[in-house]
Amino acid sequence: MPPRRVALAAACLLSSAALVVAALPQATAAEQDGPGYRVHDYADGQAMSILPPGENGLVNATDLLTFETMKKRPPYSDDQLSKYANLLYGYHSLTDGTLGRYYDDESFGVRPGDVTRTEKPETGVTVYRDQHDVPHIYGSTDAAAAFGAGYTQAEDRLFLMDVLRHYGEGTLASFLGSSCEFEQMDHDELLLAPYTKARAEKQIQAMAASHGTTGRRAKTMLDNYVAGVNAYISKATLDPSLLPADYGAAVGLPQKWSTYDVVAIAGLIGGIFGRGGGAEMADANLLEYLQHRYGDHRGARMYREINHQDDPSAPTTVTDRVFRYDLPTAAVHRSLTALPDYRKALTGGPVSTSPSCTSAAPSAPTLSAKATRAEKAQVLASNIVHALDAMPQHMSNALVVNGSHTRSGHPIAVFGPQVSYFAPEILSLEEIQSPHYSAEGASFPGTGLVELGRGRDYAWSATSAGSDVIDQRVEKVCNPTGGAPAAQGTFYLYKGRCRAMVHETYSETAVPKPGGIGAPVTLRHDIYRTRHGVVQGWTTVRGKPVAIVNQRSTYNHDIDSVIGFLQYGEPGYVHDVHSWMRAASHINYTFNWFYVDNRDTGYFVSGADPRRNPHADTSLPTWGTGAAEWRGFLRPREHVHEVDPKQGFFVSWNNKPAPGQADDGGYAYGQTYRSVLLVKQLRKQLRRTHDKVTRADVVKAMETAASQDLDGVEVMPLLLKYVHGHHHTVGVASMLHQLRSWATAGAHRLKAHAGDAEYAHHAAIAISDELMPDLITRLYGRILGGQGTGGVASTGGATVNGFATVPMQWVNTPNSGGSHLGSAYDGGFEGYVMSTLQQLLGRHPRDGFSAVLRRHECDGGASTCRRAVEGALNEAYQALVKANGTTDVSAWSASSESAAAKESMPVHDSIAFRALGIVGQPNIDWQNRPTFQQVVEFPRHRAR
């Protein structure tokens, strides 16, 4: 329905809105007092959390008008924003008593007098809204509670949920209007999880049948969750005050939900945060590139040194045990490996519906000052999908301390997922209480359960693990009649038989965008599947046609993980760390899971981890002809896990889980990773308190690391030692002085005071950002640059043609590409640079490069590296003089990139809340920290 017709219909219904509201069940005075506060809650007020900008995500037509005319945001849409932002400048004086300035109470129930609204959307369920608009859902049955979860989640995130389900189903273009970018995104999602309604329902039935009582309860709750969503949709279509104004960006009003939609969202979210591996083609490209330049033997050796499959120096969460996985356990058989022909791209992508459409990544649209509301709505829709498409995968952290190292004697956890920053946030908060379920925390809209949060006497959270659950198979294309196979043939060879690929066509009708003109367009997405998975495209091996397939262990099992998530919140199931681990083992997505109660800490890495042929090279593509098949999956006790670690704590920031773990594409797992920032700060707090930290101390460790620059902490001290004592120009000498002062002070990207315009060490930060990309180019350009794959590599926002051989960013600073995503330092060349500098200083790092690679460093071997480093310093000096318009190094406050953007560096680094709704939020100063974060300490426990 066009926006004008939607508005007209809404206006016609305004007169009946009061009648609709009057007809809703009303709460009694006693119910307004809320449920029992902290009933069955063993945290005693020591569980807290924060989720910026706020819980409310509903902006109706009246709210929109108020915002557009008065710039006043709806209540509860930004009430957690300042708390989150202000910790950056308030953590130095933090105590347990002042944690409430920066975190909200995560106790069960609602404090008397704090109930702001009570709802009864269905018989047997009551919802109490607290002072932050968080719904506390009480169901007389599990089914009633699930209904309430669906109703309230739709109430808070209906439009976002609608976008997510259409994205997961590959039907964005039919929901948001005909568009080349939406068609491309639909096709890309279908390459990940092409589920028909029948296959989705089959997943649900199989899940329910294979898990007994828990499976049946999961299906019942899933069905009732969908019913709750639909109940809200029914009311919203009659009452304009309940309908998000965001639907002006969509084609028509919200449609009813089914369980198919939940499966689609599960596949989408799991595909973003809970996946790992699948980089074999990129690895093969690097190997072939090096062999092409340096010969087969030398190229293969250089590849192994660059691809950190199992770097012995890599920071790990488990430090005292080895868990071997994804490494060959026997002699590699080359016959299992299939290397695509060098520099030959995949073919067979989506067919455009318009001659003007291309497969190139679209850019986000912009608006003129005179844009109409329909144009604004369409830009909003485009921004949503761009934001979701660009969402980083690795963005979370956890600090979990054993009770033997705390003042109280009870474990402490400061942990949470970093899922980027949106308005409204992509997570929503909730508490659910029913006969068999009791949990509070964060949920992905469209799923309903508390995926990250707390139970009665325990809490849990996660970071993305990236374990290898995807392999790229190379299917030999064959011809069933015996002739030459076609370049994009749809038959493949498996165990000696020429088999037909399964061909499915997914069609959608895309009408013109709101406010647009033209006739509806029928989009056709042709998807091909083999027994291994979905065909990503076609290429050749030794000149013969092959199809590349992603074999994902969670494919056709995306809903299965609901069992583990349900068990997390079941007090009858989880009663200690070991029962919690059993629940974690039922989650197929690859996450680092952390647990804390009043006695124990726990860690478990989940995932449906395949057992591979012991002779297969796990970093490279393998043939799909039958010899390299998976041989079952790891048993729970074979997963990385630990209880109450000997070192006294767990730390994770998406770093490597344990020694012996490998995954294809794990280039960043070198001798440093951003997790070392947390470890250093936590150890500092432990020393300061004589091994007796409080909750505030652990928060201080987290927040201190949140403003640190990994390059400044890890690389700059080595660089300064290497250049010490040598002659420099006055300008370069001044640069080195600034870098030394910054590194000594902790290398923070932080203002001295919140109201300052510039960073306290603005010159050093500008120098580091300018220097690192050029330093990397000069150190490794002869090896990896100039004649690469023709792509580009990120260098903190800039790009360098041809330097994309290693599929990893050079320097992942807060301003990389002007993304404003918050998360930084989750992958870069720091480990390589440190190894090179250590070797230049005469040291012998365990992951040092061999002579085969070192002879190609810099301008022509290690002996030329001093000239290369000096050249990088001089180049940075000249660039910064130009960017800042002065030779006074101490006055520099801009890098070339921030100067080109005409922004101060704090503004350039700042966190932006990407619009997933019509009402946005202001940027906040950068901090490298989880989005949803809990601070928990349980002083007691149920009877064990």
Residue range 89-96: average pLDDT?
97
The 8-class DSSP code of residue 611 comes to P
pLDDT score at 249: 77
Specify the 3-state DSSP secondary structure of 119: strand
CA dist 557 → 66, 221, 226, 263, 609 (Å):
45, 18, 19, 9, 13
Q: Which run of H or E residues covers position 104?
A: strand 104-105
Residue pair 521/353 in contact (Cβ under 8 Å)? The answer is yes
The strand pair at 135-139 and 397-401 is best described as: unpaired
Specify the 3-state DSSP secondary structure of 136: strand
Q: Which residue has the higher pLDDT, 10 or 608?
A: 608
**pLDDT of 794 over the 50 cut:** no
- Please state, in angstroms and rounded to a whole number, the distance separating the CA atoms of residues 837 and 425: 42
Residue range 419-445: average pLDDT?
95
**pLDDT of 467 over the 80 cut:** yes
**pLDDT of 470 over the 90 cut:** yes
Residue pair 743/719 in contact (Cβ under 8 Å)? The answer is no
Residue range 800-821: average pLDDT?
73
Confidence band (pLDDT; 50, 70, 90) for 916? confident
* Size (the chain), residues: 944
CB atoms within 10 A of CB 517: 6
pLDDT score at 427: 94
**pLDDT of 29 over the 50 cut:** no
Q: Which residue has the higher pLDDT, 535 or 275?
A: 535
- Please state, in angstroms and rounded to a whole number, the distance separating the CA atoms of residues 174 and 520: 9
Residue range 592-596: average pLDDT?
97
pLDDT score at 541: 97
* DSSP strands (E only) in 477-616: 491-494, 497-500, 502-510, 521-530, 533-541, 544-552, 591-596, 601-605
pLDDT score at 15: 33
What is the maximum span of the chain, computed from C-alpha positions, in angstroms?
A: 84
Read off the pLDDT of residues 706-761 as tens digits, 9 standing for 90 and up: 999 999 999 999 999 999 988 999 999 999 999 999 999 999 999 999 999 999 99
- Please state, in angstroms and rounded to a whole number, the distance separating the CA atoms of residues 733 and 871: 14
Confidence band (pLDDT; 50, 70, 90) for 875? very high
Q: Which residue has the higher pLDDT, 819 or 899?
A: 899
pLDDT score at 569: 98
Residue range 850-877: average pLDDT?
95
pLDDT score at 374: 56
Confidence band (pLDDT; 50, 70, 90) for 356? low
The answer to whether the pTM exceeds 0.85 is: yes
- Please state, in angstroms and rounded to a whole number, the distance separating the CA atoms of residues 381 and 173: 11
Residue range 504-529: average pLDDT?
81
**pLDDT of 811 over the 90 cut:** no
Q: Tokens 């460093």, residue?
A: 857
pLDDT score at 918: 82
**pLDDT of 788 over the 90 cut:** no
Residues 6+ apart with CB under 8 A from 855: 861, 862
Confidence band (pLDDT; 50, 70, 90) for 362? very low
- Please state, in angstroms and rounded to a whole number, the distance separating the CA atoms of residues 449 and 524: 34
Backbone angles phi, psi at 894, to 5 degrees: -145, 140
Confidence band (pLDDT; 50, 70, 90) for 271? confident
Mean pLDDT of the chain: 89
**pLDDT of 894 over the 70 cut:** yes
- Amino acid, res. 758: E
pLDDT score at 371: 56
Q: Which residue has the higher pLDDT, 241 or 820?
A: 241
Residue range 262-286: average pLDDT?
87
Read off the pLDDT of residues 48-68 as tens digits, 9 standing for 90 and up: 999 999 999 999 999 999 998
Among 15-29, 90-104, 118-132, 164-178, the minimum mean pLDDT is found in 15-29
